[in-house]
Chain A
Amino acid sequence: MTALAALIRRDIRIALRAGGGALIGVLFFVTVVVVMPFALGPDLALLKRIGPAILWLGAMLASLLTLDRLFTADQDDGSLDVIAMSRTPMELTCAAKAIAHWLAAGIPLIVATPLAGILLNLDAQATFAVMLTLLVGTPALTFIGMIGAGLAVTLRRGGLLLAVVVLPLSIPVLIFGVAASNAAISGPTPFGTPFSILCALSLVSFVIGPFAAAASLRQGLD
């Protein structure tokens, strides 16, 4: 347990310092949100309506961007081999690394959401709804993305492949994340149903992700 805690602390520290890229993910997230009005036109009513979708898309792309570094940085400096040789099961290690990644890269996205919400003309209640769905949904993005990161770790230029492989699998998270946000803001449909499905998606990916990532890491390292 202490080994896993140490691993989580180490990963967070690396992610937040130079070269870790977790905060660049937030910058990317805000940039995506800023770019959208240039493409769609500065129509505040329209932005308000599709705001949750833009925020969710931005969060998804940002997490994809940072996931690339989840294993490759450790692979580059050789610490992944050390981690693999330790007595801790690979599945637990993967889960710990994903949790650390979510804490370092996912939480800042949620913190940055109010700022992005102002830019998109979302009111306080809508911003809160999006933050809540992101809080519940981004772990699913991390754990699903970790599978792709595990697959891509031994490839040269695996980042592009990571996107192709992971995005189709994360579509359900996007659908229910946006559905829950919209339900909370305007929709006649109840908020609870898509929100519970979103929770379920996170829990299921929490179970599947570490096993799949550990399996793909093991085959990649030998």
Chain B
Amino acid sequence: MKLIDLANPTRFLALTERVLPWLSALTAILLAIGLYQSALAPDDYQQGATVKIMFIHVPNAWLSMFVWGVMSVAALGTLVWRHPLADVAAKAAAPIGASFTFLALVTGSLWGRPMWGTYWEWDARLTSVLILFLMYLGIMALWRAVEDPSRAARAAAVLTLVGAINIPIIKFSVDWWNTLHQGASVIRMGGSTMDRAFLIPLLIMAVAFSLLFLTLHLAAMRNEVLRRRVRTLQMMQASNQGA
């Protein structure tokens, strides 16, 4: 039973082994281009050089929400189709998403100090992202609390889907509540309000960070598949010794 489950992951391992080097190289190149372009971007007439934090902060913030989206899709895969790779995808994504969220909070805080005069403000966007970070940690705790991976997967899947309610709240919090955090300026009705000199590096960085997530996620999924194999082998060995 367990070995049949691994049939599909074997193909996954073979595929990712070939894809990952190219993906990592592409990520590195795009990150280099993006960082270079960000460094070349002009200073903002209001914010000065601190505007460059944006090129790190905004992609991190986008990814923090996107990763929960990926986990929600994986959760559906777990609950509806019982796909073994969906568990692996959800589990591998959680720490990466938590890292993106943490970086978004830290960079936002560092940006907030010169702009708003405070590291932290209890406004809607900041607070909802902090809650997102706590939820990532809760999911990770749940994964670790249950020993059997497939059972942990289904418990975490339920919680992931419940937590997905928070994502639209974060996205629209700046539109619904008038707070310190600025409103949406890149993706909005009537086109972006951002100058091309900032928009192009930002978009490159966003693509680069998405690729970074894809690379890290695939690598983490490989690790997780291998870790489960080791676990299965250990359990087989233990049952053989018992017999």
Contacts and interface: CB of A to CB of B under 8 A. Distances in A.
Interface string B134-176: 1101100110011000010011001101110100010000000
A168 interface: yes
B131 interface: yes
A151 B137 contact: no
Secondary structure type dominating chain A contacts: helix
Contact of A164 (B79, B138, B151): B138
A150 B159 CA distance: 10
Contacts of B158: 147, 150-151, 212, 215-216, 219
Contact of A161 (B127, B134, B135, B142): B142
A194 to B, nearest CB: 12
Interface in A131-174: 147, 150-151, 154-155, 158, 161, 164-165, 167-169, 171-172
A146 B24 CA distance: 43
Nearest to B136: A168
A165 B159 contact: yes
Interface centre among B79, B131, B134, B138 (most CB of A within 10 A): B138
A124 B243 CA distance: 72
Contact of B162 (A161, A212, A220): A212
A5 interface: no
A165 to B, nearest CB: 5
Interface residues of A, number: 20
B100 to A, nearest CB: 17
Interface residues of B, number: 21
Contacts of B145: 155, 158, 161
Contacts of A168: 131, 134-135, 138, 163
A168 B169 CA distance: 13
B159 A219 contact: no
A92 interface: no
Q: 10 tightest A-B contacts by CB?
A: A219-B154, A168-B134, A216-B158, A165-B138, A168-B131, A164-B138, A215-B158, A151-B155, A168-B135, A212-B162
9 contacts: A147-B159, A147-B162, A164-B141, A165-B159, A168-B138, A215-B79, A219-B151, A219-B158, A220-B151
Interface of A: 147, 150-151, 154-155, 158, 161, 164-165, 167-169, 171-172, 208, 212, 215-216, 219-220
Interface of B: 79, 127, 131, 134-135, 137-138, 141-142, 145-146, 151, 154-155, 158-159, 161-163, 165, 169
